[in-house]
Amino acid sequence: MSNKNDTGKAYHLKCTGDALRTADAHSAPSDWTLFGSCFCPFVQRVWVALEYFGMDYHYYEVDPYKKPPELLEVSPKGLVPALKFNNLETPRSLNESIVILEYLEDVATVQKKGSLLPPISDPYARALMRLQADHINRNLVPAFYRYLQAQEPEKQIEGGREFISAIEGLVKLFERAAAETNTDVGLWKEGGKLSLADVMAGPWLFRATHVLVHYRGFTLPEDAKFRAYIDRLVSHPAFKSTCSTEELYLESYERYAYNRPNTSQVANAINSGRGLP
């Protein structure tokens, strides 16, 4: 349960640590522009994929709550991430992290830059990984926010149980894939390569290790295999390169932890019981 006090800290507007070095390395104009925000886990999904595939892009930090015109041009709701295609006769862009990930996967396949999915020769394994991705979006992500935004002690306890249940459900899906297929199942397997499910779940599992620990006294499951998985995930070069320092996340997520009014569209959706925007 939370035992901290709301200090009124604001969200950060610039990356720190490894993420800052990566952003600086991608500050020059490119054929693609990734509109991002340093604390946003949905952005981190796409950012990790871009780094993993070794694609050229321009990282453009925006304040998603001010919704600058250049962001609204490529993302109708003013949400990040958004990917803009430059140097085309007709302006084009994509928004929504899942859609952008699917696009990057297709481009990487065509350009032979790798894949976040099992090989196309194993459609069953690919389907199992998509089940993992579906579970992450339907269960893990909403549970994270319900837990963090809960204010009453009983609601925080309930939220913690729900989040643990979502983690356990994901682990079961990982184990199912490992048992039922012979192809790569991501970082769940020691020596495995980064997978779509890793990229989709990683930003929230990473934030659980400090944001939820700090504000909710959360403890990761003690299972040694799960702990080893988290270690492999957060230390993977493509993931680590998009991570800021702990202080940035603790300060940026304080508003969620105290459920300040109009914290974000995501927070409002959780409070109203609606699906995530």
In the chain, domain spans: 17-110, 123-272
Fold for the domain defined by 123-272 = Glutathione S-transferase Yfyf (Class Pi); Chain A, domain 2 (1.20.1050)
Following DSSP, what letter does each residue of 114-167 receive, concatenated?
A: --SS--TT-HHHHHHHHHHHHHIIIIIHHHHHHHHH--SHHHHHHHHHHHHHHH
Which residues are bridge partners to 33 per DSSP?
58, 84
Name the burial class of residue 108, with classes exposed (0-12), middle (13-18) and buried (19+) by CB atoms within 10 angstroms of its CB. Answer: buried
Spatial distance between the Cα atoms of 92 and 147, rounded to a whole number of angstroms: 37
Query: Which of 38, 45, 86 is closest to 62 using CA atoms?
Result: 38
pLDDT per residue as tens digits for the range 55-101? 999 999 999 889 899 999 999 999 999 999 998 888 899 999 999 99
pLDDT per residue as tens digits for the range 181-195? 987 779 999 999 999
- Buried b / exposed e along 204-239 (16+ C-beta atoms within 10 A): bbbbbebbbebbbebeeeeeeebeebbebbeebebb
Spatial distance between the Cα atoms of 12 and 247, rounded to a whole number of angstroms: 10
Q: At a CB cut-off of 8 Å and minimum separation 6, what does 156 contact?
A: 1, 2, 147, 150, 216
Mean pLDDT of 206-219: 97
Res. 45 pLDDT band, cuts 50 70 90:
very high
Query: Which of 263, 9, 15 is closest to 145 using CA atoms?
Result: 263
Q: What is the DSSP letter of 95?
A: E
Q: How many CB atoms lie within 10 A of CB 193?
A: 15
Look at residue 4 in the predicted model and tell me its pLDDT: 66
**Average pLDDT in the chain:** 95
pLDDT per residue as tens digits for the range 6-20? 999 999 999 999 999
Look at residue 2 in the predicted model and tell me its pLDDT: 47
Which residues are bridge partners to 36 per DSSP?
61
Q: Side by side, which strands form the sheet with 32-36? A: 58-61, 32-36, 82-85, 92-95
Q: What is the largest CA-CA distance in the chain?
A: 56
Fold for the domain defined by 17-110 = Glutaredoxin (3.40.30)
User: How far from 233 is each of 65, 78, 188, 201, 240, CA to CA, in Å?
Assistant: 29, 30, 9, 10, 8
pLDDT per residue as tens digits for the range 155-211? 999 999 999 999 999 999 999 999 999 877 799 999 999 999 999 999 999 999 999
Q: What is the DSSP letter of 183?
A: S
